[in-house]
Structure 1
Amino acid sequence: MEPGTNRPDRTENAPHAVELYGREYKRDPYPLYAKLRAAGPIHRVRFPSGVGAWLITGYEAAHATLNDPRLGKNHDLGNDRWRALASIMPEPQHTELQVHLLHQDPPKHTTMRRLVTDAFAPRRVDALRPRIQEIADDLVDAMPAGGGADVVACFAARFPFRVLAEVIGLPEGFAARFRREWCKVVQPVGPRDPRRAGYEALLRELQGYIADLVADRRADPDDDGLLGRLVAAHAAGELTRAELDSMIFQLLVAGQEPVTNQISTALITLLRHPGHLDRLREDPALLPAAVEELLRYDSAFELTTWRFLAADDDLHGTPVPAGDSVIVSLCAANRDPRRFPDADTLDFDRSPNPHLAFGHGIHFCPAAALARVELQVALGTLVARLPGLAPAVPVDDVEWIPAVLARGVDALPVTYTERA
């Protein structure tokens, strides 16, 4: 029998499965995570689609799970019940766009990751910092001179894409054509949801855009940007066409939406802690440490993507059937008081700070260095150039996106005095 075939998922109908959805849960999941951590490292949970999973909480268990070679990321390992309820992409897009790094295991993962790591190497990212700062300043210059604005619409939703376009070598014409709505395709809509038709239309549009982009880069074989190198790798037989399209899909969507979410999440944290915001404005040298603590305190990557055991096995003292989905709560791990003293306290002087916001192990985010620089530049620029920065509405009234795995907001109205 092939892995994942005809095996029942024994989690979603299990008694006492914890429901990981709802407005209050998305607004503040940390009380629930604290309760789960105290009860043990692994729990049966259920997501909005009805799919069940095993949720890993606690730093030690999360770290071990992220490095466990028994757990694979390939969707072929999932059982039929998971596939029916997981709201994964419909075909043919699932086969054609979902074979990127996040859903690969060694040795294929090793080969594919090697193709992108140089583009996001710390030395290259540091060299781009002046240009990244120019992009941030351009966006702030375009904001209203005083009064206030929606900082997501004016800045957080635009900044990561403009940076990404520079890093991967996205031609200007294609950058202008890119639609922000396409980023929402990483929040799949279930087959019975009335929004499914619109979701599938967005997928087809994005797939057509990627096809046009590949054809454009193929016509310029001397292009040495990341996109050009990926197209060349396909021509050399190192990538299939589906793998090429999937990697470009991952770059365009996963390369910007999490940064948008992390900027908004970090800003909400700062607005809730005005003393920390003032300290950051007065001492910009704090930015690197502040960003690390903001990542730990409330991460845009709330939960990891699915992992699966290929055979029935024990996980943290609990029998877990093959093909059941396993999810790691990065946010729960990052607030574990056994690893971080006063874990629920925002502390810019925290050291060491070995948070798991970018994951760990072979699937550690390859663009972590770029994300760190983007966050330092974005937050430093907004804090410095928007004096009197404050929420325009009660922070607790801001609506969090209902994404299963991510944290962030689509709108964040703020006020400020005259823009610097």
Structure 2
Amino acid sequence: MTLADTVELGARFFADPHELYRSLRHEAPVTAVSTADGLRAWMVTRYEDARPALNDPRLSKDSARYHEDGPIGFLDRHMLVSDPPDHTRLRKLVSRAFTVRAIARMRPRIEEIAQGLADRMAEKAAREGVVDLLDEFAFPLPMTVICELLGVPDGERDDFRGWSNTILSESTPEEHDAAAAAMADFLSRLVAEKGAHPGEDMLSAIVKASEDGDTLSAGEAASMAFLLLVAGHETTVNLIGNGALALLRHPDQLAVLRADPSLVPNAVEEFLRFDGPVNLATFRYTTEPVEIGGTMIPENQIVLVSLVSANRDPARYADPDRLDVTREPAGHVAFGHGIHHCLGAPLARLEGEIAFRTLLDRFPGLTLAGEPETLGWRNSTLIHGLTRLPARA
């Protein structure tokens, strides 16, 4: 197969990527694909190929080699789009804030935020009958947490959500560049403010961070803030949204969790495996010809590793299309693998656990308001998430 012979990733794929993945894992586990905006790449769908590809040094993450510096290029100076030694330096400078112990200390505040959101959601449900679980709970929980962690003012958070949606979804070049420019301007101002008037927040610490005499430049600090803000809410928003949908579509599993809430942490791992928040991992670029799954991919090609497909591979998980909150889902790649494994995974897991414990406790009659087939999914190859989740609480 060549890049001239591609599988198109369009609206049908966004609505149900699993249908295509079931076919590709069997017939063409490494295949050429094209997106609506004309991007051509190679997509890896089997677990046995995907996991090692995520940590293959021949697949570079250094995006600066492959596009000119523009509005989004300004924000592409963080660890997710860099290789060692730059990646090692950047990750080391922020990793202390994301240790399991540091995240555990945040539990009381996250629980407080979740309870407050549940209160407001219950009040709105009582008034209006139907609420959007994404707008009322799944989005504001992680957005509030990460903004408090980084010291982002309240008034900027809705704007940030709009910019993030535009940048990460299928949008026109003009819309994409305008959102990226607005975000870059906002983050540059925020970093300058933290440098001049540092607080107790993580972004202030990042701006003044040093390790072995090293520091982040202003551009690197703004780019790191971009990564932490976007990754810090997008992953958890869609973990909560996709997981809630999965439970509401599988009332037997919802009943299991209600009967034994101690299973919630394990259920969070199963939600990540079953319908994770990231579909295709961020771009990798071949630095030389690389053979993956029996297919030789030439040099200087984009490689997209499907986390969603790998996590539903029947060669790795028995009966993978079945939600089972008691399953042992160890080894899933929802947070990636290797040196680029998600730094914020402990925070996402804690937020997910608190979110589902809160929903189970506060809303014993929670149900979908409408047919699952009518729900919209975001037009994004990166983010696997709903546009809305109407529910009766």
Same-fold call, TM > 0.5? Answer: yes
- Residues 281 and 148 (structure 1 numbering): CA distance in 2 closer, same or farther, change over 3 Å? farther
The match for 1:115 is: 93
Structure 2 residue 118 is the aligned partner of structure 1 residue 140: yes
Q: Aligned partners of 1:203, 1:325: CA distance in 2, in Å?
A: 22
Aligned counterpart in structure 1 of residue 201 of structure 2, from 213, 225, 232: 225
Q: Aligned partners of 1:410, 1:237: CA distance in 2, in Å?
A: 41
* Structure 1: unaligned runs, 5 residues or longer: 1-9, 84-89
> How many Å apart are 1:164 and its aligned residue?
0.9
Aligned counterpart in structure 1 of residue 24 of structure 2, from 14, 18, 36: 36
Moved more, 140-149 or 99-108: 140-149
Moved more, 201-210 or 114-123: 201-210
The match for 1:345 is: 322
Q: Which digits, 9 at most, give the CA deviation of each residue in 1:146-177, with x for residues without a partner?
A: 33311111111211111112333x15xx2332
Aligned counterpart in structure 2 of residue 150 of structure 1, from 123, 132, 136: 132
The match for 1:18 is: 7
Q: Aligned partners of 2:167, 2:144: CA distance in 1, in Å?
A: 19
Contact 1:210 1:245 (8 Å CA) reproduced: yes
Contact 2:58 2:290 (8 Å CA) reproduced: no
Q: Aligned partners of 1:301, 1:95: CA distance in 2, in Å?
A: 21
Percent pairwise identity: 39
The match for 2:168 is: 187
**Which has the larger share of helix?**
2
- Residues 189 and 407 (structure 1 numbering): CA distance in 2 closer, same or farther, change over 3 Å? closer
Q: Which digits, 9 at most, give the CA deviation of each residue in 1:191-236, with x for residues without a partner?
A: xx3xx44443333322222122112211235x45321122113897
Contact 1:77 1:310 (8 Å CA) reproduced: no
> How many Å apart are 1:242 and its aligned residue?
2.0
Contact 2:14 2:381 (8 Å CA) reproduced: no
Structure 2 residue 155 is the aligned partner of structure 1 residue 176: yes
Letter in 2 for 1:102: L
Q: Aligned partners of 1:254, 1:343: CA distance in 2, in Å?
A: 26
Q: Aligned partners of 2:297, 2:155: CA distance in 1, in Å?
A: 47
Q: Aligned partners of 2:49, 2:387: CA distance in 1, in Å?
A: 32
Alignment of 1:313-328 (within 5 A): 313-328=290-305
Q: Aligned partners of 2:354, 2:187: CA distance in 1, in Å?
A: 29
Contact 2:167 2:179 (8 Å CA) reproduced: no
Contact 2:79 2:224 (8 Å CA) reproduced: yes
Q: Count how many residue pairs are aligned between Structure 1 and Structure 2.
A: 386
Q: Aligned partners of 1:20, 1:198: CA distance in 2, in Å?
A: 20
Contact 1:266 1:298 (8 Å CA) reproduced: yes
> How many Å apart are 1:241 and its aligned residue?
2.5
- Residues 243 and 372 (structure 1 numbering): CA distance in 2 closer, same or farther, change over 3 Å? same
Q: Aligned partners of 1:260, 1:394: CA distance in 2, in Å?
A: 21
Q: Aligned partners of 2:296, 2:70: CA distance in 1, in Å?
A: 34
Alignment of 1:394-405 (within 5 A): 394-405=371-382
> How many Å apart are 1:113 and its aligned residue?
0.6
> How many Å apart are 1:268 and its aligned residue?
1.1
